[in-house]
């Protein structure tokens, strides 16, 4: 039906597009066709929807609270769609929002994600606290909330739910139901926005009555992969264990450098067996957990969190077995030993109050262009001491023990902010420890596509001889000039500790030249203290070498952040 050159261009576009982009194109084309049929034009957006009649409400606010850019992306695209429909839109990030304006707001639509253990993103904290702590009358406000989250977490879309409930409590009128979205949010977000546009077209904003309950999320794309390689990158004698894990996947995995994968670790078989023996439960009895059916053994292995239970779960346990238990975090096995259940029946009740295992995220260290059919991650085995006993982090311990050829399920967690710039731009990557992971992806990708921009890497760890992660690859990239510059900081190779920020100071003059020339700066790895120290050092360099006052240097730095030239992925 298409001429050959058009078909070729179409096929190229389809094969190079992510699933989200395909969904968008699908909606866009559907909208375009229906527009031609006189139904209404489709605008640009997450998924373009056939629009209802021209809006009667012509002024709205769209506020977003984001950590990794998804909510910002959705909010920005919806703002553009609404503007195309003739609506005057005020689009604001919640960290820039003047909370004193809230009482004056009329049509207000919020897009907000959930972070941590059911918390609002850092950028929305001020707003979240304000609406929960101040008794403001919001009787003018007509609102709806789009909540971004991940169904794998125990407290799915909690921040969005809280904001939705609290605005209603303060007197605001909910004009379209709360929409909760899983990580593949495009379709649900578009449905929510279609509701919002319907409200704006209906008689100056009647409530959408077609769906009164909270709309159910559609889910996410899960992949099953096979472990190809699981290799400790640290040499003998190192105090650390950092594994390079390669996962082979038959399905094409849609990701970009800067994205992570989400994984659910499995509980240890011996712990599950002990719990089953202790409670007298039948391992093969089928139970329902979070609306899915599993045998007790399966649920305890793959679904239910039995480690370091939050206090809220311990409270629920106490109420099932009707005993007083002090507020504490404890493993299920210890709880069962100290406060045993009456019988297997009571244990099944306990299982109903347990929470799912929360996913852990790992930055993808492979590149879609350079490592097709594979996804790589770089995992530090987390080690900590409790009461003098050495313990290991649940997921990192699980991953570092995975055998080659074993299977693993995962999904892609998109980071819409931590993305490579145009091929001709320079990048400065600061990633000590596992912070190297996304930069291995960045560099391999830029190498594979022949990007002309320069690449500068700052890497650091404890000791050169044992902890220089990906040493051979980095050396090769230097030899082939893919890496223009590399600076290394090994903290324990000399008496005084040397970190990446010290290496940055040594290179301050050249760093300033790159920054002033438009380079993009990326930081990945430990949030504290690394990312704070690096940020302070950058500010110091800008001030010292640009000849700016501290005030001007801060303004310059803020502008870099606004332009997306200073990007963090820290944890
Ligand atoms: C966007 C993002 C990207 C990331 N990328 C990477 C990456 O590339 N590589 C990487 O290695 N990590 C990465 N992480 C971190 C990773 O997701 C995990 O947080 C990390 O591996 C620790 O998880 P765990 O299950 O091993 O440890 P957990 O079991 O979750 O333990 C974490 C901490 O909780 C405390 N704790 C746990 N159990 C107990 C207990 N019984 N008693 C007392 N305290 C306890 C300890 O302080 C411990 O260190 C990333 C995180 C994010 C958010
Ligand atoms: C560290 C971390 C913790 C998270 N915690 C939750 C959670 O408790 N509940 C939830 O529904 N989603 C949780 N999420 C998922 C995010 O809300 C989801 O990925 C969302 O698309 C992020 O949107 P944003 O880019 O706008 O921040 C978490 C994500 C991360 C990275």
Query: Does the beta carbon of 369 sit less than 6 angstroms from any atom of ligand 1?
Result: no
Token pair in block for residue 144:
């709806």
Residues 171-216 have pLDDT tens digits of 999 999 999 999 999 999 999 999 999 999 875 555 554 444 566 7
E strands, 129-250, are 142-148, 173-174, 179-181, 222-232, 242-248
**Closest CA to ligand 1's atom 38:** 308
If one residue of 246, 333, 384 were mutated to test the ligand 1 pocket, choosing by the most ligand atoms within 8 A of its CB, it would be: 384
Q: List CB contacts of 510: < 8 A, sequence separation 6 or more.
A: 485
Q: Is the CB of 153 under 6 A from ligand 1?
A: no
Residues 431 and 346 reside in one and the same domain: no
State the average pLDDT over residues 156-160. 98
Task: Report pLDDT digits (tens) over 379-406.
Answer: 999 999 999 999 999 999 999 999 999 9
Is 404 within the bounds of a domain? no
Can you give the pLDDT at residue 145?
98
Range of the domain at 500: 427-570
| CB of 434 closer than 6 angstroms to any ligand 1 atom | yes
Q: How far apart are CA 378 and CA 469, in angstroms?
A: 9
The residue whose two tokens read 């058009």 is 6
Is the minimum distance from the CB of 401 to ligand 1 under 6 angstroms?
no
Q: Say if 107 falls within a structural domain.
A: yes
**Are 93 and 190 within one domain?**
yes
The answer to whether residue 282 sits within a structural domain is yes
Which atom of ligand 2 lies nearest, measured to the CA of 118?
A: 8
pTM of the model: 0.89
Residues 315, 316, 318, 321: what is their CA dihedral angle, to the nearest 10 degrees?
A: 180
Number of domains, the chain: 3
- Same-domain check for residues 432 and 524: yes
Q: What is the CATH number of the domain that holds 105?
A: 3.40.50.360
Cis peptide bond prior to 489, omega within 30° of 0: no
In a domain, 358, yes or no: no
Mean pLDDT of the chain: 92
Tell me: pLDDT of 520 over 80: yes
Query: What is the model's pLDDT at position 207?
Result: 59
* Pocket residues: Cβ below 6 A from ligand 2: 66-71, 113-118, 121, 148-150, 153, 155-158, 183, 361, 413
Residue 209 vs residue 522, higher pLDDT: 522
Query: What integer pLDDT is reported at residue 20 of this predicted model?
Result: 55
Is the pLDDT score of 44 beyond 60? no
Cβ of 308 below 6 Å from ligand 1: yes
Q: Are residues 172 and 278 in the same domain?
A: no
Q: Give the CATH number for residue 485.
A: 3.40.50.80
Nearest CA to ligand 2 atom 7: 118
At 19, the pLDDT band (50, 70, 90 cuts) reads: low
Nearest ligand to residue 233 Cα:
1
In a domain, 364, yes or no: no
pLDDT surpasses 60 at 137: yes
């Amino acid at each position: 039906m298409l001429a050959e050159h058009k078909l070729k261009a179409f096929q190229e576009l389809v094969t190079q597009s992510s699933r989200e982009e395909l969904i968008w194109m699908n909606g866009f084309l559907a909208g375009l066709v229906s527009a031609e049929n006189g139904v209404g034009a489709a605008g640009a957006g997450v998924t373009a929807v056939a629009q209802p009649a021209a809006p009667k409400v012509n002024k709205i606010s769209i506020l977003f609270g984001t950590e990794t850019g998804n909510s910002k992306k959705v909010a920005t695209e919806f703002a553009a769609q609404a503007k195309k429909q003739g609506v005057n839109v005020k689009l604001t990030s919640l960290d820039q929002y003047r909370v004193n304006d809230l009482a004056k707001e009329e049509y207000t639509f919020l897009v907000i994600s959930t972070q941590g253990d059911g918390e609002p993103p850092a950028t929305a904290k001020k707003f979240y606290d304000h609406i929960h702590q101040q008794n403001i009358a919001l009787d003018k406000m007509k609102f709806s909330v789009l909540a971004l989250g991940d169904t794998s977490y125990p407290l799915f879309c909690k921040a969005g739910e809280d904001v939705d409930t609290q605005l209603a409590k303060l007197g605001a009128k909910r004009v379209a139901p709360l929409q909760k979205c899983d990580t593949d949010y495009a379709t649900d977000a578009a449905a929510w926005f279609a509701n919002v546009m319907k409200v704006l077209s209906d008689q100056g904003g009647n409530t959408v009555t077609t769906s009164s309950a909270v709309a159910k999320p559609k889910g996410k794309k899960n992949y099953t992969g096979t472990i190809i390689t699981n290799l400790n990158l640290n040499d003998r004698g190192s105090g650390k264990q950092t594994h390079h894990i390669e996962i082979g996947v038959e399905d094409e995995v849609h990701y970009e450098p800067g994205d992570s994968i989400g994984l659910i670790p499995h509980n240890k078989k011996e712990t599950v067996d002990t719990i089953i023996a202790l409670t007298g439960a039948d391992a093969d009895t089928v139970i329902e957990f979070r609306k899915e059916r599993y045998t007790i053994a399966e649920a305890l292995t793959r679904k239910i969190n039995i480690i370091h239970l939050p206090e809220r779960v311990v409270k629920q346990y106490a109420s099932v077995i009707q005993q007083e238990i002090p507020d504490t975090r404890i493993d299920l096995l210890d709880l069962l030993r100290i406060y045993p259940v009456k019988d297997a029946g009571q244990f099944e009740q306990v299982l109903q109050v347990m929470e799912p295992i929360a996913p852990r995220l790992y930055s993808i260290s492979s590149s879609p262009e350079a490592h097709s059919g594979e996804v790589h991650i770089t995992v530090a085995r987390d080690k900590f001491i409790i009461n003098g006993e050495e313990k290991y982090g649940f997921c990192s311990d699980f991953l570092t023990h995975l055998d080659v050829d074993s299977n693993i399920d995962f999904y892609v967690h998109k980071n819409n902010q931590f993305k490579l710039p145009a091929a001709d731009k320079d990048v400065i990557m600061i990633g000590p420890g596992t912070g190297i992971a996304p930069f291995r992806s960045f560099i391999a990708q830029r190498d594979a596509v022949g990007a002309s921009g320069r690449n500068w890497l700052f890497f650091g760890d404890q000791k050169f001889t044992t902890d220089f992660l990906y040493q051979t690859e980095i050396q090769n990239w230097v030899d082939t000039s893919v890496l223009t510059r590399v600076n290394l900081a090994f903290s324990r190779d000399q008496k005084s500790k040397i970190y990446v920020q010290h290496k940055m100071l040594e290179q301050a003059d050249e760093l300033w030249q790159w920054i002033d020339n438009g380079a993009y700066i990326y930081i990945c790895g430990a949030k504290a203290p690394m990312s704070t120290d690096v940020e302070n050092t950058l500010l110091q360099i800008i001030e010292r070498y640009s000849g700016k006052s501290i005030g001007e240097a801060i303004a310059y730095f803020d502008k870099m952040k606004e332009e997306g030239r200073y990007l963090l992925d820290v944890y």
